[in-house]
Amino acid sequence: MTSPQSNSNASPAAAMTGTRVVVLTAGGTLGNIIVNGLIARIGPVTVIQEQPEAKSAIIRRRMRLNGVTAATGQVLLGVLLRSFGKRYRPRLQEIWHTKDLNPRANPDVTVHHVDSVNTEACRKLLAELEPDVVAVYGTRIISRKTLGAVAAPFINYHAGTNPKYRGQHPAYWARAERDGENAGVTIHLVDSGVDTGDVLYQAPVGYGEDDSIMTYQHVQAATALPLLVRAIEDALHNRLVPKRVALPSRQWFPPTVWTYFYVGVTRGVW
């Protein structure tokens, strides 16, 4: 188990003093965008960053949930998209520039590293930090035990419209289903399910003709950030108003490589 660490020069005790907002994330470019966007709007936050889940564990879970054939097709698509990742770079840079998103790691942010948000190390750290609100983006499913580590609400940004598009690549699936009005974003309370917590805010998102499964979430982040900030401020001022949304509920998984090409060719959604 990895002990909590910080990339800040401040001592752990100093970093924990007066902490109001803690962000749980798995890091990466999109994690940086969310953290930087929060700091720009609400001021300093403390980050707890978990290690990415092992690919082998992800594949085994997908095999169990979706079957061997589907899991194999999902892995193949992931390999293909990574292989052609550079071709999406110009569009990503355009999105970051036009929407004022900062994808770079901020050296001034206090970051504590843990193996998983569901480890005892993470729960102990949360208890020591005593946040008033915990913002969540991009982590594995958070256990009941971790959710109970502090009294603060856990608020998640989901890049899709809940509960209709829970799970992974929701904007892609909404567009693939010709349901563009639900290719939006949701800010919701976290429970132990997969994007099943009560909704706080939702909004639609528009995309460009050159957007794809590799860029959707970057476009969505610009719409989601002000809503996430609003939810955090609501939590800090005890004015959260959770609600249930009257939509069918379904959990989605990454497309297989053959589904991806079929949808791309027949519906123009990539």
As a whole number, mean pLDDT of residues 247-266 equals 97
Beta-carbon contacts of residue 146 (< 8 Å; ≥ 6 apart): 117, 118, 122, 123, 126
3-state secondary structure of 157: strand
Domains with residue ranges and CATH for the chain: 12-267 (3.40.50.170)
pLDDT in tens, 16-49: 333 599 999 999 999 999 999 999 999 999 999 9
Is residue 134 pLDDT above 70, yes or no? yes
199-203 and 185-189 strand pairing:
antiparallel
pLDDT of res. 18: 39
What is the average pLDDT across 91-116? 97
Angle at CA 154, nearest 5°, toward 150 and 155? 160
- Alpha helix positions (H), the chain: 12-16, 28-42, 55-66, 68-83, 89-98, 120-129, 144-147, 170-176, 216-236, 257-267
pLDDT in tens, 201-217: 999 999 999 999 999 99
Paired tokens of 98 = 């036009």
Element (H, E) at 24: strand 21-25
* Pairing mode of beta strands 185-189, 154-158: antiparallel
Share the mean pLDDT of the chain. 92
And the tokens for 205?
A: 């998102």
pLDDT of 19 = 56
pLDDT value at 221 more than 50: yes
pLDDT of residue 194 exceeding 50, the answer is yes
Q: Per the structure block, which two tokens stand in for 139?
A: 């982590």
- Single pTM value for the model: 0.90
Name the pLDDT band for 15 (thresholds 50, 70, 90): very low
Q: Report the half-sphere exposure of 181 (CA within 13 A, side-chain side).
A: 1
Q: Is the peptide bond before 163 cis (omega within 30 degrees of 0)?
A: yes
114 has a pLDDT exceeding 50: yes
100: which 2 tokens? 């004022």
Ranges 52-66, 109-123, 124-138, 237-251: which has the least confidence: 52-66
In whole angstroms, how far apart are CA 127 and each of 35, 91, 202, 207?
21, 41, 30, 40
Residue 245 scores a pLDDT above 60: yes
Please tell me the distance from the alpha carbon of residue 264 to that of residue 270, in angstroms, as a whole number.
Answer: 5
Residue indicated by tokens 């100093």: 14
Q: What is the percentage of the chain residues whose pLDDT exceeds 70? A: 93
Residue 85's pLDDT is 86
Closest CA to 22 of 235, 249, 258: 235
The whole-angstrom separation of Cα 49 and Cα 2 is 11
Task: For residue 204, give the amino acid letter.
Answer: P
Q: What is the pLDDT of residue 150?
A: 97
Contact predicate 88/212, CB 8 Å: yes
